[in-house]
Chain A
């Protein structure tokens, strides 16, 4: 272990300087703004905890739609997306190099095309008239006679947003887990087979996952962060923020709605801090699961 006093700071210096200037200072300013009234034009006015109190007691849209939506969305997309990402990465690791690379590229591609594909493809799929692909297919199959106006129908908006989010959840966590899987020492598997590990399940739980805990933790935290920070899917699909009757309104949409539509920057900042607290709390659970015990 390296114990010289100055060395760690020398290695950290370049990162820390840029991190402080471009991330910590702006973030600290944003958190500071959460205690003010700020409309982006006049100087911020200090109002103490008013924004937070309003958020938790006055903001009926937040309490009635945004918070429940965010939690529902995150509890589905976070864990399901994570398990799916691990399962697919593990499956890919059982294949030879060429097909693995091709399939990994395809599975990862939604993360690359997210913004683009959303506007170009999913809107065409869920177009509200006969020329939408989903309506066309359902009509041809005889399931529906009238086209469904997907993006105005509050029953369908949230499920559609969840499907699209899961479809795009093979992100950097998936890549990290794939790299971690390929990096597990193969001798461990051989030793395990000799020691009486009988099936795939045992192999995955006793050998694979414990050998790649750092990557598992990274994947878990990223799933949580991405699920809670998701927001543009609903807005891009429906073409409006707020989404119709707040059916798919998530916390990031709420932040943008207040910050950039109503220019209530102070309030938007308070919602951001609330979101940070939620994400941190949930990621704590992930850290308990994958903590390194050394």
Chain B
């Protein structure tokens, strides 16, 4: 392959010319990856190591005591842990699916169709993503309360589905889909919906994967919808529950916080690996520019 300096984008095989990249990527990765290593190690530290002096980075006598404390504390609460897990899974799955669906549809319209308000809508969307969420907290609470969905699953799901960042991201990728492909399909009689399903969706899978990671993370780790828009424990999420346990202020709290951090972190990690390896990498070079 004729490529400059013997390396190329997305190579199929290892080549010695890739070594320089590893020489700086690995040290950077070690620095960036420290928190993961720390979170994993910390979760398994027994009490004496958690408060050891000098502080220890790695665990020397791993134990499950933090997890035991966590599950014990969970066992004494009136709502079983499985309920929080179920709530989180339901809310997260619903938001990720709906969000990706409506964002891709809207992105298709904003990128590839001509209509009057096109630029205005895109501009308003971008302005919305630049506005800090903090200032909107109270007005949002009022809106949700007026809709009468406080304390229901809908209070978790509906406010999070429309996500300006996700639309912006996906729209940027739809921009890269060549118009010629769409025109060719239309000449053959394909309607807008067919174009969306058969051309846009397959070609923007990397964007869908990225968007899904983004939405998942936001929703899975969100404690705000639970603390602000719900009042009964039965509809609250795992992230919220873990947070209440670990901020209880006890000595065991720090250990439980470490265990909870690991438990909440793992699903993020799994989703990232699945999305990156199955969608991103196989879709490389799909853009027939």
- Give A residues with C-beta under 8 Å from B: 1-5, 7-9, 11-12, 14-16, 18-19, 21-27, 29-30, 33, 40, 88, 91-97, 99-101, 103-113, 115-117, 119-121, 124, 127, 130-133, 136, 167, 170, 172, 175-176, 178-186, 188-190, 193-194, 197-200, 203, 211-212, 214-215, 217-218, 221-222, 225, 229, 252, 255-256, 259-260, 265, 268-269, 272, 275-276, 279-280, 283, 292
Contacts and interface: CB of A to CB of B under 8 A. Distances in A.
A200 B105 contact: no
Interface in B238-273: 257-258, 261, 264-265, 268-269, 272-273
A120 B261 contact: yes
Nearest to A170: B32
Contacts of B265: 112-113, 116
A180 B277 CA distance: 15
Interface string B157-186: 011011011011100110110010011001
Interface in B5-47: 5, 7-14, 18, 21-22, 24-26, 28-29, 31-36, 38-39, 42
Contacts of A283: 126, 130
Given A33-B139, A120-B39, 6 more contacts: A14-B102, A29-B143, A96-B11, A106-B32, A117-B39, A190-B1
Interface of B: 1-5, 7-14, 18, 21-22, 24-26, 28-29, 31-36, 38-39, 42, 53-55, 57, 101-103, 105-106, 108-110, 112-115, 118, 121, 124-132, 134-140, 142-144, 147, 158-159, 161-162, 164-165, 167-169, 172-173, 175-176, 179, 182-183, 186, 192, 195-196, 206-207, 209-210, 213-214, 217, 221, 257-258, 261, 264-265, 268-269, 272-273, 276-277, 280-281, 283-289
> Interface majority SS on A: helix, strand, loop or mixed?
helix
Contacts of B257: 119-120
23 contacts: A2-B195, A8-B118, A11-B109, A11-B192, A19-B164, A29-B143, A30-B131, A30-B136, A93-B9, A94-B21, A96-B11, A103-B29, A107-B32, A109-B32, A112-B269, A113-B36, A116-B39, A120-B257, A131-B53, A172-B169, A176-B210, A189-B8, A292-B175
Query: Which A-B residue pairs are the 8 nearest by beta carbons?
Result: A29-B139, A272-B135, A214-B172, A26-B139, A179-B206, A117-B35, A15-B106, A18-B162
Nearest to A124: B55
B9 A167 contact: no
Contacts of B210: 172, 175-176, 179
B8 A113 contact: no
B283 A183 contact: yes
B175 A214 contact: yes
Contact of B106 (A5, A16, A136, A181): A16
A222 B272 CA distance: 20
B6 to A, nearest CB: 11
B221 A115 contact: yes
Given A101-B281, A121-B34, A185-B288, A218 B106 contact: no
Contact of B139 (A30, A92, A113, A133): A30
A8 B168 contact: no
Nearest to B264: A116
Contacts of B22: 95, 99
A52 B54 CA distance: 50
A130 B55 CA distance: 9
A20 B53 CA distance: 54
Contacts of A91: 21, 24-25
Contact of A96 (B14, B57, B162): B14
A116 B220 CA distance: 13
Contacts of B110: 12
Contact of B108 (A11, A119, A184): A11
B117 to A, nearest CB: 9
